Structure 1
């Protein structure tokens, strides 16, 4: 098969892996497949490094042949899709060629499972090894690890890659057993533990090259798990394995899908709300349990932070001239950076309403929840349902001054 055709097939096959996908991506759907270069396909994607830089990555599979038959996967062994396979040397050459043309800053490489987990993992590692050692490639490398592979291979992969992914696939063991019975949640978590242990050992020994950090992905809407299940699983993974990120991928239609899968995909807005809630867990100190009241799903009409505030009206309004920084950061419309700036500002003088405008806080959102020297909300006692309707509707309907 010609290299261009392989690239077309294996770039398209990689588009469902959200572990490095840019936000606001087009809807993913394998019914009516698109070719290389189309905005709905893959090939080159965007990711963000820990220091905030946006990098372009060649995003491909080593092969989309797979011995597993996961019902939600377009590349499952029973799927009637075009198949292709790269040799490791071909991936190396493609990466170097794209990099020299300034198309990419690095590589995201995953694979279906062929022959055995160890054989597949060895091939992935060989690509990264060759790039690093044979060609002195210093670009970004993200490898998707194979959970069943020998732990030594997974550890070795971390020596070459900047990031490793071990996909948890589904938020509950029950969902995994029903839709991917050949996979084991225990095995997946064991691989995560191998990566974490290698990192800790390298840090303790003060090695110059610390093994790569790790991320994972959960499919949303393929099983019966609600948002509470999903975020509680993410919270556990962050704590137990020190993951850098948990990515959420809304289940999307696949050809010849099983009757065990839902007839319709979940709204993409649900995926967006999960990312917002995940950010609250990682950066704001929220616990997953705080974000839910009478339902197991996040509201779609308002963001999770506003939903939490409306459910905890006894805390508000917050006096920005007195409240601790941690609480100020929880006010809807005020982020972590502005919370820090407000605390620094009040050490010099009292905070006034114009200061919030100057800091470009979300004034419409924060109005019902704050008190400053020259402002107190006129609807501080309004019912939460009333505020919710106002804050999720026409801005002109909100008049709190």
Structure 2
């Protein structure tokens, strides 16, 4: 068998990394240095696109250190029993690739994950060495490391000091599913690792008696991923687990990844079409929970058996089910009610609240601010618009149902 070139490894291990969705940057600023020197930035163009929470599109070198793995998780293409080509980068190879891609302005940072080789500690140490070597060589760009839950606490601490973000993937929504499909993993140890990252971050954020902090530990926080559709969990279960993770461990993001049959798939997994619209609705519902003041019970109702409405976005679905709460007067309503209007995002609501201090607003004013007037129109009152009985129209829902279209707030 011919020896693999670094280009061969890159092709194989970048493709193997595509199944991990938890790789968006936080939009963190460039790491500073006293002399003003250093390699890398967090703005520019690149080869693998991800999105920051502020909506910025950034570029990352997204690879696995290796796709060899001693675990046999049924949903993973790189599981031990999978018949796929294998490769492994050395520490120096990943450092060289990242540096060279940066010099050519191809990327803005590195997302590094890995299969488990030898042991959790050995794998984590190799990944930490990559990040530490990059920093020692003056790399100031974004680094996101996947954390191995069973790795020693000192390795997790070193990882957080070298990386901007850490992620620990829970993978499946329930402990029972993890036990069934990933028997070598333990849900409790995954949550314990998340807790350790949070506590260590808080410890480093605390100021000493001199007013100084100990250092920068994963300043962009931590994230996780849940696979959607690989088990029988409904949307209420998925979102409920996400809500608990946000509260207990201070996660910056939960990413939802639509399951699709993988090459050499395990027979225990369902044969399904990728539930892409379901993934999209979960992201929208997640946004409502975190930024719009919605409760889980408002978003996923019992009459839909714990599932989100796939035909309309979850905010619109709530508005249609609660027509007695509308129309909302944009010139008088408090901010929390405006946030519930379909077609109004958080930025639009802030603009409305600020602008109405100078005078009454009309539909065209809302449109200029960026509001989606067509969607909001039946649910609002402005100085030049009164929807009258339109909310009682039997066909109101049908006006918004557009198959194959992904609506945004």
Instruction: Provide Cα deviations, 1:101-145, integer angstroms capped at 9, x if missing partner.
Output: 111111110000011000000000000000001x11001100000
- d(CA) in 2 for partners of 1:273, 1:301: 9
**d(CA) in 2 for partners of 1:324, 1:208:** 42
Residues 1:137 and 2:147 aligned together:
no
Which moved further from structure 2: 374-383 or 302-311? Answer: 374-383
Counterparts of 1:275 and 1:232, CA distance in 2: 13
Contact 2:145 2:166 (8 Å CA) reproduced:
yes
Selected match of 2:383 from 362, 373, 395? 373
1:284 aligns with 2:292: yes
2:396 alignment partner in structure 1: 387
TM-score, L = length of structure 1: 0.89
Question: Aligned-pair distance for 1:255?
Answer: 2.3
Task: Within 5 Å, give how 1:25-36 maps onto structure 2.
Answer: none
Q: Is the 8 A contact 1:370 1:376 kept in 2?
A: yes
Is 2:48 aligned against 1:45? yes
Paired residue secondary structure (2:361): coil
Cα 1:196–1:21 change in 2 (3 A) is closer
Q: How does 1:180-259 map to 2 (within 5 A)?
A: 180-205=182-207, 206-207=212-213, 209-212=215-218, 213-259=221-267
Partners of 2:116 and 2:193 in 1: CA distance: 16
Closer/same/farther in 2, CA of residues 292 and 345 from structure 1, 3 Å limit: same
Residue 17 of structure 2 aligns to a residue whose secondary structure is coil
- Over 3 Å counting, the alpha-carbon distance change for 1:50 and 1:374 in structure 2 is closer
Between the aligned partners of 1:339 and 1:50, the Cα distance in structure 2 is: 18
SS in 1 for 2:392: coil
1:207-356, aligned counterparts within 5 Å?
207=213, 209-212=215-218, 213-293=221-301, 294-295=303-304, 296-356=306-366
CA shift at 1:360, angstroms? 3.0
1:358 shift after superposition: 2.4
**Structure 1: distance between partners of 2:99 and 2:131:** 12
Instruction: Report the alpha carbon displacement of residue 351 of structure 1 after superposing the two structures with TM.
Output: 2.1
Structure 2 matches for 1:74-93, cutoff 5 A?
Answer: 74-93=77-96
Instruction: Tell me if the contact between 1:250 and 1:265 (Cα under 8 Å) persists in the aligned partners.
Output: no
The whole-number CA distance in structure 2 between the counterparts of 1:314 and 1:54 is 39
Determine helix, strand or coil for the equivalent of 2:199.
Answer: helix
Contact 2:69/2:116 (CA < 8 Å) preserved in 1? Answer: yes
The alignment partner of 2:263 has SS state of coil
Mapped contact 1:367–1:377 kept (Cα < 8 A): yes
Checking the alignment, whether the CA contact within 8 Å between 2:378 and 2:391 is kept in structure 1 is no
Q: How far is 1:258 from its partner? A: 2.4
Q: Which runs of at least 4 in structure 1 moved beyond 3 Å after TM superposition?
A: 48-53, 378-381
Unaligned runs of 5+ in 2: 26-45, 404-409
> What RMSD, in angstroms, separates the aligned Cα atoms of the two structures?
1.8
SS at match of 1:20: coil
Q: Is the 8 A contact 2:198 2:249 kept in 1?
A: yes
Separation in 2, partners of 1:185, 1:269: 27
1:52–1:357 Cα change, 3 Å: closer
**SS of corresponding position for 2:68:** coil
Match among 124, 128, 134 for residue 131 of structure 2: 128
Tell me how many residue pairs correspond in the alignment: 372
Task: State whether residues 221 and 265 of structure 1, in contact with CA within 8 Å, keep that contact through their aligned partners in structure 2.
Answer: no
Structure 1: any 5+ residue segments left out of the alignment? Answer: 23-42, 395-401
Instruction: From the superposition, tell whether residues 393 and 160 of structure 1 become closer, same or farther in structure 2 (CA, over 3 Å).
Output: closer
Q: Are 2:60 and 1:57 aligned?
A: yes
| CA–CA distance in structure 2, aligned partners of residues 388 and 327 of structure 1 | 21
Q: Distance in 2 between matches of 1:111 and 1:352?
A: 54
